[in-house]
Amino acid sequence: GKRLEGKTIVVTGASSGIGKSTAVEFARTSPKNLKLVLTARRIDTLKQIAEEIKKEVGEGVKVLPVQLDVSKPEQVRSFVRNLPQEFQDIDVLVNNAGLVKGVDKAGDIKEDDMETMFATNVTGLINMSQAVLAVFKKRGESGQGDIINIGSIAGREGYPGGSIYCATKAAVRTFTDAMRRELIATRIRVIEIDPGQVETEFSVVRFGGDKSKADKVYEGVTPLTPEDIAETVVFAAGRPENVVVADMLVFPNHQAAATVMHRKP
Ligand code: NDP
Ligand code: 8X3
């Protein structure tokens, strides 16, 4: 509603899953003078999503699709200054871009997979945060704005076949926690949302495009939908300025830990 009116919101990884749903949810919740910057590598998909959003909520929301690979530091460095002026005054950053590659165990982990996961999930998220903090720090007396990081249950516990992914999300969690402390004298809110199992392209990416392997992950369970997490992101951003939803863990009902899953036979 009203609290989000006129805000400029940047979502990374907005071409699919949680990021796409988050963009749509912001537009639906606050269609008045909202400025949405949708970023990801797949620019054509972002353009389609931008059109869908405009069609659904009308012209009150300005949607800008921007190609951005967060794993490329030089792209992140020039991101803000390359935005059109009217989109540069960012209020909310949703650091959602992220991925998992493979299920290899220590000893067999591919160096490329490891590098991609860290460059995207960790370094990319940190670089984005720093770029946008420069904008936040110019606002108010000491700075104001929201950084919303999408962590994971995988950042709170390691599971077999997920050591690198889990390590990246643990890094996100610790960075987020420390950053909140570092920014305590500002009005910058640092927020972490940790989903459990959500059905998106996540598992398709994990298995290198093998849809049948991905589908097995969700057999006999009812995972969260990306909309479920989008609602929590928009909820957190929409709290009164003095309220910080610092840390939220969200499971589907059948899940109680990364690998504690009740499956219907
Ligand atoms: P999807 O695969 O559906 O979406 C991932 C998004 O990240 C895509 O839009 C993709 O866009 C983007 N992305 C990947 N690499 C990059 C990059 N280098 N630069 C910019 N964007 C990139 O998965 P989810 O929606 O599930 O994932 C979103 C976040 O949620 C991730 O951080 C993930 O770790 C986290 N998460 C997911 C859970 C799940 O069970 N699904 C549970 C807990 C957390 P493109 O390919 O166009 O660049
Ligand atoms: C995604 C959840 O536990 O499948 O972050 O890795 S998990």
Joined tokens for residue 250: 């969200």
pLDDT tens column, 43-61: 999 999 999 999 999 989 9
Q: Which is more confident, 226 or 2?
A: 226
CA 263 to CA 255: how far, in whole Å? 9
**Percent of all residues in the chain with a pLDDT value above 70, rounded to a whole number:** 100
CA 138 to CA 189: how far, in whole Å? 15
**Percent of all residues in the chain with a pLDDT value above 90, rounded to a whole number:** 97
Ligand nearest to the CA of 155: 2
CA 27 to CA 79: how far, in whole Å? 22
Sheet order of strands, 187-195 included: 62-67, 35-40, 8-12, 92-95, 144-150, 187-195, 247-250
pLDDT tens column, 217-243: 999 999 999 999 999 999 999 999 999
pLDDT band at 265 (very low <50, low <70, confident <90, very high): confident
Record the pTM: 0.98
Q: What is the pLDDT of residue 96?
A: 99
pLDDT tens column, 171-210: 999 999 999 999 999 999 999 999 999 999 999 999 999 9
Q: What is the pLDDT of residue 106?
A: 98
Q: Tell me what the pLDDT averaged over the chain comes to.
A: 97
- Would you say the CB of residue 98 lies under 6 angstroms from ligand 2? no
For the chain, give every domain's residue range: 2-261
The stretch 92-113 carries a mean pLDDT of 98
| Ligand 1 binding site (Cβ under 6 Å of any ligand atom) | 12-13, 15-19, 40-42, 68-71, 96-99, 120, 150, 152, 195, 197-198, 200-202, 205, 226
Which residue reads 């989000």 in tokens? 4
CA 107 to CA 164: how far, in whole Å? 12
Cα(128) to centroid(ligand 1), Å: 15
Q: What is the pLDDT of residue 31?
A: 77
* Closest atom of ligand 1 relative to the 116 alpha carbon: 18
| Residue 28, C-beta contacts closer than 8 angstroms, at least 6 positions apart | 56, 57
Joined tokens for residue 225: 């939908």
CA 235 to CA 229: how far, in whole Å? 10
Q: Which fold has domain 2-261?
A: Rossmann fold (3.40.50)
Which residue reads 């800008």 in tokens? 64
Report the Cα–Cα distance between both ends of the chain, in Å, rounded.
42
Tell whether ipTM is more than 0.85: yes
* Closest atom of ligand 1 relative to the 223 alpha carbon: 40
CA 56 to CA 63: how far, in whole Å? 12
